[in-house]
Structure 1
Amino acid sequence: MRVSVVVPNYNKERTLRDCLSAVYAQTPPPAEVIVVDDASTDRSRQIAAEFPCTLLAFDANRGVSAARNAGAGRAGGEVLFFVDSDIALAPGALAAAVRTLKAYPDCGVVQGIYDLHPLYDDGPVEAYKTLFEHFWRRRATGLTSTTMFALTAVPKEVFDLVGGFDERLRDAEDVEFGTRLPQRYTIRVSDEIVGRHDDVDRLRPYLSELFRRAVTYAGAVVATRWDRPTATSGEAPADRAPHQVDLGSVVGMVSSGLTVASVPLILLSPWWAALPVTLIGAAVVADRHLLAFALRHRGPRFLLYAAGLRWLTHLTEFLGMGIGVSGALLRRIRALGARPTTVESRR
C-alpha cells in the first residue's frame, strides 16, 4: 500500500521540523508527504521547504478540517496517514498502520496513541494532559467507536466515501467524521502507532481549548443525532451507531457541576457540606484508574495536582456541554417554530 502522509500546520515552527524528520525516518518511507500550511505567520513554510514534501499554502486561515481535506485531495496513495505538526512519530508507525489495515480488511480507521512523555516537557499542565491522553488512548486499544485524527490512517476510498471533514468545524471535527463512517467499517486503536506530542502547557489555554471542544462536540455530535436519518441503501454513511459513552467521564462531569451548585446550600445548614464532599468523592471514584496511573508514574505529589486538574477539567466540560446542548435545543426550537404550517383548504 502506498501511504500519503498529510500534515496540517498552523504556526508550529517549534515542532514542524521534528514532525517531518520523524515522518521521513519511517521504514519504509511514505510515498509522499503533503504539508498544508493554514496561513501561518511564523517560519513554518521555510521549515517545510527544507524537506522534499509537497507544500500547499492557504492565503487565509481556514481551519484544520479544510487543511486535511486539501491534503487528502492532493494525495495519490491508497492510504492517507494524518499526523498533526506538533507530533513526532515513533519509528515504524506507518508500517504498523499498514499492517493493521491489511490484517483487518473491514478497518476503516486505525489511530495511534500518544507517548507517555511529551515531545517537549513544559511543565505540570502538559505533563497531566499527556499522561491523560496516553492513558485514555492506550485503554482504548483494539476496537473502539470514536475517531481522533492526530495520528491516524484511513484508506483513501473510505475517506472519499465519508466525504472528508466538515469544514465548518474547527473543534471536534475528527469525532464528527466518525459519526459518518458507514457501519460496516470498524475503528481501531493500535499501540504500535505512537507519537510524542507537544501539548498545551498553560492552564488558561488548556481550559479554553477544552471548553470550545465541548461546546462544538455537543452541537456537532450529540445534538445532530436527534435528526439522524435512517439508513436507506446501505451505502449511506449516516447510519453509524453512536460511539460508546464513557460513564466515568459522565459521572465526573455531572458530579463536578452539582458540587459547585450545592456549595451555597452550606449557608442554610452546615450539614449540607456532606453533599459536595460526597460528589467530589464520586468524581474521584469515577477517575480512580486514571489517578492510580498518575500515582504509579508521577508519584503522590503529582497525584494531588492531577486530581485537582481533573476535577477542573470535568467542570469545564460540564459547562461546555451544557451550553452546546442548550444552544442546539434553542436552534431546534426556533427551526420548528419557523416552519410554515400547511392549512388544508376546505371545499
Structure 2
Amino acid sequence: MTGHPTVSVVIPTYNKAKTLADCVRAVYRQTCQPVEVIVVDDASTDGSREIAAGLPCRLICLPTNQGVSAARNAGAAAAIGEVLFFVDSDIALAPDAIGNALRVLREHPGCAVVQGIYDAEPLAADGPVEIYKTLFEHYWRRQRDGVADATLFALTAIRRQAFDDVGGFDERLRDAEDIEFGTRLPARYEIRMSADVVGRHDDVDRLRPFLAEHVRRAVSYGALLAGVLAADDRRRVHRADGHRPDTARPASGVDVGAVAAMLCCAATAVTLPLAAVAGWLLAVPAATFTAFTLVDGALFRFVRRRKGNRFLVYFVAMHFLMHTTQLAGMTVGFAAGLVRSTRRRPARSATAPETGR
C-alpha cells in the first residue's frame, strides 16, 4: 500500500441520539480525512435518524431493526474506500485515530485489521458502573497492543479486500458477531491491536442493564467458542481423511488469566456458604478470593493509581461480579453450542486411512 488509501468510515447506529453527533463530528476532525462518512440507522426510535440527516454524512436507513451485523454490512456494501473504518456511534475518535490506523497498515503489509482501544476516560461519565467498565476495557485492550488473534469492531480499520474475502458479518448474530467474523478471516491476514488508535466510549451506566448485556454476550461467546472448536475438529477429520487443508484461522488462544480469575470468583461464591457449617471454613473462600486479587493484581494497581483506594474497593466488587456472571453465561452458551454442533457433526468417512498403533 503506497501513499494514503481512500477510507470509508461506517457508523452503525441504533437509538444513540445522545452520542451520534459527537461521533460524526469527531470523524470530521480527523487529521487524515476519509473519502466518505456513512451512517447506517438501524430503525432507531429516539431521533437518531433525524440527527444524522442534519449532519454532513451519507445516511442509509434500514426499514426494520436488523442488528449491528446487518447495519455494518449495509454500510460496507455502499462504501467506495480501499479501507473500511468501522466505528460505533457511541465512540468519539481521537483526531489521529484514522491516520494512526493507516500507518499501522502501511508499516505491516501483511496486516489487514487494525483495532483500536478505548480511552481511560468515558465520553460522558454517568456514574461508577460506566467508570468501572471503561477503565477495565481500556486496560484490557491496551495490554493486548500488537498482534492479536481475535477481531473486535467497535473502532476498527480493515482492508476492503479482506472484508470481501470474509463475506461480511453474519446477520443472524446480534452479539459476538465481530469475534465470529474473525474466525472466518483467512489465516494469511494479520490482526493487530493498536494503542495509538483511540476513542472515548459512552458505555452502559446502570447495573441491571450492564449485567443483562454482559450475560447475553457471555452466552453468545460461549456458544461461538463451542462452534469454533467443533469446526476445528471437523477440519482435523478432513485432513485425516486426505482432504486438502483450508486457510481458515485456527481458534483464538485462551486468556489464561481471565479463566483463572473466573474460576477463583466461582470458587469463592460456591464455597462461601461453608462458613455457616464451621467458622474456620471461611478460610476456603478467603483463599480463593485472595487468589482472584492476585491474578488481577496489575489491573487493580492500575485502577488505584487512576482513581484511588476508595474507588478500588468498588472496582474489585464489580470485577468479581463481572467474572462470576461471565463464567455462568459462557458455561450455558458453551453447553448449548456443543449440543448444536453435535447435532450437525457429519459422520467420519468410511474410507479414512487407518493410523498405526
1:50 is the counterpart of 2:54: yes
Cα distance in 1 for partners of 2:142, 2:343 equals: 42
1:117 is the counterpart of 2:126: no
How is 1:139-288 mapped onto 2 (pairs within 5 angstroms)? Answer: 139-228=143-232, 229-230=234-235, 236-237=246-247, 239-288=248-297
1:300 is the counterpart of 2:309: yes
* Gap change, CA 1:66 and 1:297, over 3 Å in 2: same
Any stretches of 5+ residues in structure 1 without a counterpart?
A: 343-347
Cα distance in 1 for partners of 2:342, 2:110 equals: 39
How is 1:66-85 mapped onto 2 (pairs within 5 angstroms)? Answer: 66-85=70-89
Cα distance in 2 for partners of 1:263, 1:65 equals: 41
Partner of residue 137, structure 2: 133
The CA deviation at 1:268 is: 3.3
Which residue, out of 36, 41, 44, partners 1:40?
44
* Gap change, CA 1:11 and 1:199, over 3 Å in 2: same
RMSD: 1.8
Cα distance in 2 for partners of 1:311, 1:159 equals: 37
Cα distance in 2 for partners of 1:319, 1:106 equals: 38
Partner of residue 345, structure 1: none
Question: Is residue 175–residue 221 contact of structure 1 (8 Å, CA) maintained in 2?
Answer: no
The one-letter code matched in structure 2 to 1:324 is G
Q: After superposition, give the CA deviation of every residue in 1:250-305 in whole Å (9 maximum; x if it has no partner).
A: 01111111222222333333332211111111111111011000000000001101
* Gap change, CA 1:176 and 1:335, over 3 Å in 2: closer
The CA deviation at 1:334 is: 4.8
Q: After superposition, give the CA deviation of every residue in 1:221-264 in whole Å (9 maximum; x if it has no partner).
A: 34332233438767x55x21222222121011111112222223
Any stretches of 5+ residues in structure 2 without a counterpart?
A: 351-357
The CA deviation at 1:307 is: 0.5
Question: Is residue 179–residue 241 contact of structure 1 (8 Å, CA) maintained in 2?
Answer: yes
Q: After superposition, give the CA deviation of every residue in 1:29-65 in whole Å (9 maximum; x if it has no partner).
A: 1101111100000111111112231111111110001
The one-letter code matched in structure 1 to 2:336 is G
Count of residues in correspondence between the two structures? 337
Question: Is residue 251–residue 286 contact of structure 1 (8 Å, CA) maintained in 2?
Answer: yes
TM-score by length of 1: 0.93
The CA deviation at 1:335 is: 5.0
Question: Is residue 16–residue 44 contact of structure 1 (8 Å, CA) maintained in 2?
Answer: yes
The one-letter code matched in structure 2 to 1:240 is R
Partner of residue 327, structure 1: 336
* Gap change, CA 1:176 and 1:334, over 3 Å in 2: closer
**Local SS of the residue matching 1:299:** helix
Question: Is residue 16–residue 89 contact of structure 2 (8 Å, CA) maintained in 1?
Answer: yes
1:97 is the counterpart of 2:101: yes
TM-score by length of 2: 0.90
